[in-house]
Amino acid sequence: MGGDFAPASVVTGALEALREAQGRFSVILVGQRDKIQAEIAKNGELAEHEMVRKHYSIEQAEEVIEMHDSPTAALKSKRNSSIGIGLTLQREKKAHAFVSAGNTGAVMSASTLILGRLKHVGRPTIGALIPTAKSPALLVDAGANVDCRAKHLLEFGLMGSIYVSSMLGKTNPVVGLLNIGEEGSKGNAAAVEAYGLMKESSLNFVGNVEGRDLLKGEVDVIVCDGFVGNVLLKFGESIPAFFKAKVTRIAEQSLRQKLIALLARGTLRGVMKELDYQEHGGVPLLGVNGVSIIGHGRSTPKAIKNMIFRAEETAVRQVPRRIEQAMLHLPE
């Protein structure tokens, strides 16, 4: 029931994931049964596909936490929300992973509350994959924790490192601390202290990285607090639309410019695609005792489909277990 285009976008994305998965996994659609069934019916042939109809079920959840609801208040008052029931299915081992494009704060709080934190994790975090000149890098924290102490930043680096090595197949990922200068003495109080902690840790810590280094792709895990991460991520997401508007405006100046813009459309679309968050689906919540993937409110069916595949992979690769193992070796 979550996201701006729910349940249409969620249902279609889930059915498309099932068709592609060829029976590798099943999906439980959690929410208002009648609405979900109506959406399934709209998908016609896709819903009738053998690999689809055999692999989904519906779990009734009467209440819906809306995008504008206060997370903590909603979790208390709406005990039968789709978010709450979906996560409870995972806690009860009836599901291996949870995916939602709903209220981010509510999904984070409910995941921590219902699944619980992994041992030694002070603060669960969300990490977002961002495009770079080389392979994608994980920006962590991407918005879960706005006031962070140095030890939290160290935790983020460790959890991010495990996620990248597990999911992107990078051994010993390069970890950088987002800062305003290269030297260890630069930055705010938390960053200066975190630099010291990370240098002494088992991380493959390369030191500070600056805003201009993010797109270079020299670093696999970029550590920052959730305030900076969220601002940066949302700024980055807005760039393709900004470029598109600028090119459109220039194209309007003359017929020649218009023709050039038409010709170059495919090329530009290729560049934009690499900047598109929909490609990567959602962001993982790391540090909880289970798999919880949070999608953008504006998730399209394609984004939902990618999120489901991401969730499958996170569960199969046992990312939570690996994080728990790694946290054992963290200094107190």
Closer to its own copies by CB, 38 or 239: give it.
Answer: 239
- Contact assessment for residue 106 and residue 71, using Cβ atoms and an 8 Å cutoff: yes
- For residue 25, the minimal CB distance to its own copies (Å) is 33
One-letter amino acid of 243: F
State which of positions 190-219 bind its own copies (CB under 8 A): 191, 210-216
First to last CA, the chain: 41
Assess 76 for contact with its own copies (CB under 8 A). Answer: no
Assess 267 for contact with its own copies (CB under 8 A). Answer: yes
Assess 107 for contact with its own copies (CB under 8 A). Answer: no
Biggest CA–CA distance in the chain, Å, is 66
Q: Please list, in sequence order, all residues whose beta carbon lies within 8 angstroms of the beta carbon of residue 58, skipping any fewer than 6 positions away.
A: 28, 29, 30, 31, 33, 36, 37
Q: What is the CA radius of gyration of the chain?
A: 21
In angstroms, rounded to a whole number, what is the distance separating the alpha carbons of residues 215 and 152?
24
In angstroms, rounded to a whole number, what is the distance separating the alpha carbons of residues 302 and 175?
30
- For residue 204, the minimal CB distance to its own copies (Å) is 22
In angstroms, rounded to a whole number, what is the distance separating the alpha carbons of residues 247 and 243?
6
- For residue 63, the minimal CB distance to its own copies (Å) is 22
Assess 227 for contact with its own copies (CB under 8 A). Answer: yes
- For residue 243, the minimal CB distance to its own copies (Å) is 6
Closer to its own copies by CB, 32 or 257: give it.
Answer: 257
Closer to its own copies by CB, 40 or 150: give it.
Answer: 150
Task: Spell out a b/e string for 156-174, using b for 16 or more CB atoms within 10 Å of the CB, else e.
Answer: bbbbbbbbbbbbeeeeebb
List 13, 84, 127, 143, residue binding its own copies (CB under 8 A): 143
- Contact assessment for residue 261 and residue 285, using Cβ atoms and an 8 Å cutoff: no
Assess 39 for contact with its own copies (CB under 8 A). Answer: no
- Contact assessment for residue 23 and residue 309, using Cβ atoms and an 8 Å cutoff: no
Assess 247 for contact with its own copies (CB under 8 A). Answer: yes
Residues in the chain: 332
- For residue 127, the minimal CB distance to its own copies (Å) is 16
List 133, 255, 328, 332, residue binding its own copies (CB under 8 A): 133
In angstroms, rounded to a whole number, what is the distance separating the alpha carbons of residues 103 and 84?
12
Assess 89 for contact with its own copies (CB under 8 A). Answer: no
Closer to its own copies by CB, 61 or 126: give it.
Answer: 126
**Per-residue three-class SS string for 60-118:** ECCECCCCCCCHHHHHHHCCCEHHHHHHHHHHCCCCCCEEECCCHHHHHHHHHHHHCEC
Assess 147 for contact with its own copies (CB under 8 A). Answer: yes
Closer to its own copies by CB, 151 or 186: give it.
Answer: 186
Interface region with its own copies, contact rule CB under 8 A, candidates 56-64, 79-87, 106-114, 174-182: 174-182
Give the single-character DSSP code of 128.
E
Q: How many residues bind its own copies (CB under 8 A)?
A: 50
Assess 246 for contact with its own copies (CB under 8 A). Answer: yes
Assess 228 for contact with its own copies (CB under 8 A). Answer: yes
Chain residues binding its own copies by CB under 8 A are 133, 143, 146-147, 178-180, 187-189, 191, 210-216, 224-228, 230-239, 242-243, 245-247, 250-251, 257, 260-261, 263-264, 266-267, 270-271, 274
